[in-house]
């Protein structure tokens, strides 16, 4: 785990920290821990006038616009309770934040995320969220493929499957970017982007 630098226009991208997901059991970091660390990072980015992107996944109430396709693993229920897709209170309420709604695992496909980042001159993203091996990893892979520098905050993400989390952190993320903790990111942010 070694962070080297942050580009002048670095954005924080928070994946799926919403009511219906942040409360689910995750490991090795609980949803509340992931939310608290992501909120701390968001405050630090906002204080430095750096973009904060809040990504949420949402579908029609009956799930009719969810991604189709045959899979070997059974999918979850296709109906969603009211408010399940709202960003958690700890992160919401900041008018300058960028809001992205996705219908897939990753935050780039079928959304305006790349356009929103490029319009702001962003060349690097810092990723947090749930689930490590699904939404976070899919977004990290696409960010890398889009040419962004990628930083992954390993203690500000969690997964229902601890082995999947570990596989992403140890095997995939080092091939896509740099990894570090919330403390590492805050320290480097303080050195490269004074308030």
Between CA 107 and CA 24 the distance in angstroms is 20
- Which tens digit of pLDDT belongs to each residue from 113-148? 999 999 999 999 999 999 999 999 999 999 999 999
How confident is the model over 72-100, as pLDDT tens digits?
877 665 567 788 899 999 999 999 999 99
The answer to whether 97 and 44 have CB atoms below 8 angstroms apart is no
Q: What is the mean pLDDT of the chain?
A: 93
**Rounded distance, CA 147 to CA 74, Å?**
34
CATH of 10-58+83-192, one of 3.40.50.850, 3.30.830.10, 3.30.1330.10, 1.10.150.120: 3.40.50.850
Q: Report d(CA 183, CA 195) in Å as an integer.
A: 17
* Sequence-separated (6 or more) residues with CB below 8 Å from residue 81: 20
* SS3 of residue 140 by DSSP: helix
Radius of gyration (C-alpha) of the chain in whole angstroms:
16
- Higher per-residue pLDDT: 104 or 157: 157
Q: Which two tokens stand for residue 49?
A: 């006038």
How many other CB atoms sit within 10 Å of the CB of residue 191?
10
Determine the pLDDT at residue 195.
84
- Spatial separation of the C-alpha atoms in residues 128 and 101, rounded to whole Å: 16
pLDDT at res. 193: 92
pLDDT at 79: 66
Instruction: State yes or no: pLDDT of 60 exceeds 80.
Output: no
**DSSP code, position 4:** -
Phi, psi at 12, each rounded to 5°: -90, 130
Task: Please state the pTM of the whole predicted model.
Answer: 0.94
pLDDT at 68 over 80: no
CA angle 47, 53, 59 (to 5 degrees): 150
Sheet holding 52-57, edge to edge: 98-102, 52-57, 10-15, 124-130, 149-158, 178-180
């Amino acid at each position: 785990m070694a962070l080297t630098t942050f580009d002048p226009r670095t954005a924080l991208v928070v994946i799926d920290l919403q009511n219906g997901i942040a409360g689910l059991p995750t490991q090795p970091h609980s949803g509340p821990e992931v939310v608290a660390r992501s909120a701390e990072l968001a405050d630090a980015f906002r204080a430095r006038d750096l973009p904060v992107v809040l990504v949420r996944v949402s579908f029609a109430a009956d799930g009719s616009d969810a991604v189709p396709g045959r899979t070997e693993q059974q999918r979850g229920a296709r109906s969603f309770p009211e408010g399940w897709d709202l960003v958690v209170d700890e992160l919401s309420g900041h008018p300058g934040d960028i809001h992205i709604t996705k219908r897939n695992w990753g935050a780039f496909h079928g959304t305006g995320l790349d356009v929103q980042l490029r319009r702001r001159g962003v060349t690097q993203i810092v990723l947090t969220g749930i689930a490590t091996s699904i939404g976070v990893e899919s977004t990290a892979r696409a960010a890398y493929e889009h040419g962004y520098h990628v930083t992954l905050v390993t203690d500000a993400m969690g997964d229902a499957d601890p082995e999947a989390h570990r596989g992403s952190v140890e095997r995939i993320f080092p091939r896509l970017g740099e990894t570090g903790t919330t403390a590492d990111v805050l320290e480097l942010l303080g050195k490269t982007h004074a308030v």
